[in-house]
Structure 1
Amino acid sequence: MFLKRPYTALLFVVIVLASACSAKFTRLQKKGTTEEKYKAANDYYKKGDYYKAGLLFEEIIPLLKGDSLAENAQFYNAYAQFQQKQYSMSSYLFKSFYATYANSPLAEEAFYMYAFSMYKDSPNYNLDQTNTITAIDALQTFINSFPDSKYAANCSEHLIDLRHRLEQKAYEKAKLYYKTSGVTIANFKAAVVAIDNFQRDFPDSQYNEELANLKVQSQYELAMVSFENKQKERYTDVLKFYEEFVDAYPNSKYIKQGQKAYDGATKALEDIAKQEQRIKELKAKQAEEAAKADTANKG
C-alpha cells in the first residue's frame, strides 16, 4: 500500500504538467502572434510533437502568403503529416509544395517525399491497387526528372516492391477465376483472359509456369462445356496453349496434367472430325438422292 504512494504522486505530477502544457498550447492558439506560432511550430517539430506542430503550421500558412517563412512552413507541415503517418495528406502537401516552389532547394526532396508518401500509402496486394499504380507513376516520374538524385536508388527499390504487389494481385486474380470457373462459362473465359494479361504484363514472373498450365486447363474445361458450334475452335486452342506451355517449360512438373488436357482435346477434335465427316456424307447422300428424284420426275 505504501509503495503505491510514490507512483500516485508521480502520476499526479505528470497529469499536472500535461494540463499545463495543454493550457499553454491552447493560449498560444488563441492569442499567439503568427511569429510566435511559427517559432512554436518549429520547436514542437524538433521535439517530435508532430501533431501540435502540424496544427500550428496549418493555422499560420494562410497568413504567411508572400512571407519568406511560408516556404519552410509548408515544407515542414508536409513532413509533420508524414511523421503522423497521414500519407495521403502528406503526399498532397509535398506535391503542392513542389508545384508552388519548383525552383526551391527543397523542391527535389519534396517531389521525392510526394512519391514516397504515395508508396507508403499503397495497400497490401490483396486490396484495391489504384494507389499502387499512382505511386508507381510518381516514383517513375521522379527518376525520370532527377536521374542523378540521391533518392533515385530508393525509388528503384520502391518500384520493385510495388510492381511485385501488382504481380501478386494479378496472379491471385487469375487463380481465383480458375478456382471459380465451374460456376459459369464466363468464368472459364475470364480465367484465360486474366492469364493472357498476366503473361503480357509480367513476362519474367515466377508464376508464369503455373499459370501457363492453368491456361491449358481453363481452355480445356471451357471447351468441354461450350456449345457444339464453339467446341472445335476452343479445343484447337487447347492444343495451341499446350504446345506453347511445353515449348516454354519442357521439364515442368505440370507436364502430365497438361498432357491429359492435350490428349482429351485431341480425342474431342477427332470425334468432332468424325461427326463432321458423317454429316458431310449424309448431306452428300441426301443431295444425291434429291438429284435422282429430280431426274426421275423429269423423266
Structure 2
Amino acid sequence: MFLNHMRILLTTLALATLFFSCSPYQKALKSEDVGLKFHMADSLYTVGKYKKALKLMEQVVPEYRGKPQAEKLMFLYSDTFYNLGDYYLAGYQFERFSNSYPLSEKAEEAAFKGAKSYYFLSPRYSLDQKDTKVALEKLQEFINKYSNSTFIADANQLVEELTHKLEKKEFEVAKQYNRIFDYKAAISAFDNFILDHPGSEFREEAYFMKFESAYQLAVRSIENLVEERLTTAKSYYESFKRNYPESKFQAEAETILEDIEQRIDNKQV
C-alpha cells in the first residue's frame, strides 16, 4: 500500500514537472528566439502578469536596443516597474524613455508616470524630504512641458500634496524649537515660514507661535533685557492681530498680551 502511494505521488510530481517545464512561458524563458520572448512578455504585461513579463523583458531589452521595436519595449519595461511598485527604477526608466523618444505618442504618459514615481517615493513629513523636493521638481517640469495634458489636474493635485508636506515639515521644525525652549530659533523659524509660505494653512498659527515664542523669550530673559523683549513681543501681537483679526488663537493671544502690558507697566512704575 505504501509503495503504491509513493508511486502515485512520484508520478504526480513528474507530470507536474513536465507540465510546467513545457508551459509556453517556460518555453519562452528557455528559448533563444527574442521575438517569441517579446511577444510573450507583451501578452503577460497586457493581462497584468508583471513579474513574469519582467523576467522576459530583462532578457530581451539588450537585444532590441537601436531597433524599431525598442520604443514599445522600453515603455512596457518602464511601466512594468511602475505597476510592480518599484518606483526608483520606474522613475529612472521612464526618464530614459522620455529622453530617448521625445516624439513618441507615449512621451507624455511616460513623463507623468516618471514624475509620479518620485511622488510615491516621498516619505512622511517627519523624515528627510530630499525625495519630496525631487518629486516636486519633476512634476513641475511635466506641468511646464505639458500644460494641456489630460494628466495636468492629477499633476497639480500631487504638487499640492507635496507642497503641503514640505510646509508641515518646516512648521513642525519651528514648533519643535518652541517645545525645547529655544525661543530665538523658534522666532527665526516662524518668521522664515511666514515669509516663504504666504498661502499656507499653517500661517495663522505661525504668526501666533512667533508672538508666543517672543513672549516666552522675554519673561525668561535677564532683568535688563526683559522690557525690550516684551515690547518686541507686543509688536508681534499687533502684526498677528492685523493679519488675523478673528483668529481662533485670539483668546489665548489676549491673555498673553494682558500679561505683557502688566509687566511693562510694572517696569515703568
Which of the five TM-score ranges fits, normalised by the shorter chain?
A: 0.7 to 0.9
Q: In the alignment, which residue of structure 2 is the partner of 1:108?
A: 108
User: Pick from 195, 206, 213: which aligns with 1:211?
Assistant: 206
Q: Structure 1 residues 267, 70: closer, same or farther in 2, change over 3 A?
A: same
**Structure 1 residue 232: deviation in Å?**
5.0
Instruction: Provide the rounded CA distance (Å) in 2 between the counterparts of 1:123 and 1:16.
Output: 45
**1:1-299, aligned counterparts within 5 Å?**
16=16, 20=20, 25-181=25-181, 187-227=182-222, 230-269=225-264
**Structure 1 residue 254: deviation in Å?**
2.4
AA matched with 2:215:
Y
Deviations 1:35-80 (CA, angstroms, capped at 9, x unpaired) = 1211111011012111111222122111211111111111101100
Identity of aligned residues (%): 32
TM-score under structure 1 length normalisation: 0.76
Q: Structure 1 residues 272, 17: closer, same or farther in 2, change over 3 A?
A: farther
Instruction: Provide the rounded CA distance (Å) in 2 between the counterparts of 1:264 and 1:19.
Output: 85
Query: What is the Cα-based RMSD across aligned positions, in Å?
Result: 2.9
Check whether the contact 1:115–1:142 (CA below 8 A) recurs between aligned residues.
yes
Instruction: Provide the rounded CA distance (Å) in 1 between the counterparts of 2:186 and 2:147.
Output: 39
**Structure 1 range deviating more: 265-274 or 192-201:** 265-274
Instruction: Provide the rounded CA distance (Å) in 1 between the counterparts of 2:47 and 2:18.
Output: 15
Q: Structure 1 residues 18, 257: closer, same or farther in 2, change over 3 A?
A: farther
**Structure 1 residue 165: deviation in Å?**
1.9
SS at match of 1:104: coil
**Structure 1 range deviating more: 19-28 or 191-200:** 19-28
Check whether the contact 1:238–1:261 (CA below 8 A) recurs between aligned residues.
no
Instruction: Provide the rounded CA distance (Å) in 2 between the counterparts of 1:35 and 1:22.
Output: 18
Instruction: Provide the rounded CA distance (Å) in 2 between the counterparts of 1:257 and 1:22.
Output: 76
Deviations 1:166-224 (CA, angstroms, capped at 9, x unpaired) = 2332333333332232xxxxx22222222222222322233322222221111111223
**Structure 1 residue 148: deviation in Å?**
1.3
Instruction: Provide the rounded CA distance (Å) in 1 between the counterparts of 2:228 and 2:72.
Output: 66
What stretches of structure 1 of length at least 5 have no aligned partner? 1-11, 182-186, 275-299
**Structure 1 residue 92: deviation in Å?**
0.8
Check whether the contact 1:216–1:261 (CA below 8 A) recurs between aligned residues.
no
**Structure 1 residue 89: deviation in Å?**
1.2
Check whether the contact 2:92–2:114 (CA below 8 A) recurs between aligned residues.
yes
AA matched with 1:165:
K
Q: Structure 1 residues 64, 261: closer, same or farther in 2, change over 3 A?
A: same
AA matched with 2:188:
V
Q: How many residue pairs get matched?
A: 258
Structure with larger Rg: 1
**Structure 1 residue 94: deviation in Å?**
0.3
What stretches of structure 2 of length at least 5 have no aligned partner? 1-11
Deviations 1:221-255 (CA, angstroms, capped at 9, x unpaired) = 12233345654553332011111011112233423
Check whether the contact 2:34–2:60 (CA below 8 A) recurs between aligned residues.
yes
Check whether the contact 2:21–2:27 (CA below 8 A) recurs between aligned residues.
no
**Structure 1 range deviating more: 34-43 or 125-134:** 125-134
Q: Structure 1 residues 19, 84: closer, same or farther in 2, change over 3 A?
A: farther
Q: In the alignment, which residue of structure 1 is the partner of 2:9?
A: none
Q: Structure 1 residues 132, 224: closer, same or farther in 2, change over 3 A?
A: same
Check whether the contact 2:214–2:233 (CA below 8 A) recurs between aligned residues.
yes
**Structure 1 residue 25: deviation in Å?**
4.0
Q: In the alignment, which residue of structure 2 is the partner of 1:282?
A: none
TM-score under structure 2 length normalisation: 0.83
